[in-house]
């Protein structure tokens, strides 16, 4: 149930070997998933006799940064432990056993959203809207209490068959008023679901979570992520510079209202994005109701198959939006985040290189206010003339010199005549 860890009940621990058979009061029963820094187990709370999920981190694997990892682990517990919402996983306890710190949380009988969309086929539109709306409601609750998740992705969303969707893993969450364990400029989060401001190193706020949720909703509706670079660098370039096609152009079952909602969630400039997740949830619920009213039964909405050979092709973003995103400060402090940002200046407007003819250039110049290139004759005529007025001293000296030269020439001619 952690970042990069598969969900679902796993294998039982047979002869646990180096694996702990018990952590505090929690008796380990089976392994749910494994990551680079630790393991998630299904365990039994021996006091309350209830199943729990126990997330562990072996801090001995990083001895040089053990204190930092341990503090970040406790930060996750504080971030999620103070949240009590149906769409957020409940934290029961946190502790330490030797070099292993652990967190006991609600055990969820469900699957990761990553598993549901991993086959490259879209979900039913009604189901996708419902999942996204529940995640938005959970995020709105967290944001209102000063907690930003910063790593919203399908692996951190649990879907229960007959229960609420749950957000898990607040491991890199930021809380207002806490120590700056996640410094500005550090690349934290999953690249595929990062917001443009996270890509360029700006501190993430609640609008970054909204962008990430927009990417997930797009993927649920279209069967493919809106940004698909061949490598991490290409992917990040697309996130900042490209706009994906409307979901309804990929999946005919997607209503037009969903296009507008996703476009606002994926807006590059922060000021054009949804300001809070509660507004996202309201719009998604409205879209659900409209869809149910138009079909009579939202469960009957069947998405068409999306050919694997024709993924959505993103297009270059408008230059104004690109400038607004890239113009955001990279080196920022926590105090600077509280100061309202000034609007980014409008980008310079110039002549496009694709305009070859003189007529097209003149028309573009008249529209943009940029002077068109001049011919040689026009350039000569445009040379400023000296202003008319009284003679300057230099003018008098030139005339006097010319007069003297004339007198000398006349005198020389007269002498030859004699």
Neighbours of 323 (CB within 10 A): 17
- How far apart are the C-alpha atoms of 265 and 141, rounded to whole Å? 18
Give 50's Cβ-side CA count (13 Å radius): 9
Residues with catalytic function = 151
CB contact at 8 A, 155 and 112? yes
* Helix, strand, coil percentages for the chain (3-state, nearest 5): 40, 15, 45
- Quickly list H helices, 162-317: 196-199, 206-222, 232-241, 247-250, 256-265, 277-295
Residue 29: name the closest of 37, 19, 21 by CA.
21
Kindly report the number of other CB atoms within 10 A of residue 119's CB atom: 8
Q: Which two tokens stand for residue 230?
A: 């061949």
Helix axes 256-265, 277-295, angle to 10 degrees: 170
Candidates 145, 138, 130, 69; CA nearest to 100 is: 69
- What residues contact 3, with CB distance under 8 A and at least 6 apart? 35, 151, 153, 155, 156, 169, 171, 190
356: Cα within 13 Å, side-chain hemisphere: 0
């Amino acid at each position: 149930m952690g970042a990069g860890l598969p969900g679902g009940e796993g294998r039982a621990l047979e002869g646990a070997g180096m694996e702990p058979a018990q952590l505090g009061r929690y008796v380990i029963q089976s392994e749910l998933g494994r990551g680079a820094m630790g393991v998630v187990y299904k365990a039994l709370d021996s006091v309350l006799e209830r199943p729990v999920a126990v997330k562990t981190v072996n801090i001995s694997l990083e001895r040089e940064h053990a204190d930092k990892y341990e503090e970040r682990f406790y930060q996750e517990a504080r971030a999620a432990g103070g949240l009590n919402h149906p769409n957020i996983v409940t934290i029961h306890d946190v502790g330490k056993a030797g070099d292993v710190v652990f967190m006991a949380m609600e055990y969820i009988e469900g699957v990761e959203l990553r598993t549901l969309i991993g086959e490259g086929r879209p979900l039913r539109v009604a189901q996708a809207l419902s999942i996204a709306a529940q995640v938005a409601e959970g995020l709105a609750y967290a944001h209102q209490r000063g907690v930003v998740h910063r790593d919203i992705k399908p692996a951190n969303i649990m879907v229960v068959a007959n229960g609420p969707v749950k957000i898990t893993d607040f491991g890199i969450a930021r809380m207002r008023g806490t120590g700056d364990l996640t410094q500005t400029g550090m690349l934290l989060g999953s690249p595929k679901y990062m917001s443009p401001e996270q890509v360029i190193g700006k501190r993430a706020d609640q609008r970054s979570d909204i962008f990430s949720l927009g990417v997930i909703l797009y993927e649920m509706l279209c069967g493919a992520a809106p940004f698909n670079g061949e490598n991490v660098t290409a992917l990040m370039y697309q996130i900042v510079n490209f706009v994906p096609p409307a979901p309804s152009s990929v999946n005919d079952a997607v209503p037009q209202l969903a296009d507008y909602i996703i476009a606002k969630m994926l807006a590059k400039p922060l000021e054009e994005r949804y300001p809070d997740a509660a507004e996202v949830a309201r719009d998604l619920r409205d879209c659900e109701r409209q869809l149910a009213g138009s079909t009579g039964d939202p469960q009957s909405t069947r998405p068409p198959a999306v050919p694997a050979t024709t993924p959505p092709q993103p297009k270059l973003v408008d230059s104004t939006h690109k400038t607004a995103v890239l113009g955001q400060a990279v080196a920022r402090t926590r105090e600077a985040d509280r100061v309202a940002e000034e609007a980014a200046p409008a980008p310079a407007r110039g002549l496009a290189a694709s305009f070859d003819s003189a007529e097209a250039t003149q028309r573009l110049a008249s529209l943009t206010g940029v002077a068109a290139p001049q011919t040689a004759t026009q350039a000569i005529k445009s040379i400023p003339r000296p202003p008319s007025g009284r003679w300057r001293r230099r003018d008098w000296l030139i005339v006097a010199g010319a007069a003297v030269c004339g007198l000398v020439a006349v005198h020389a001619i007269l002498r030859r005549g004699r």
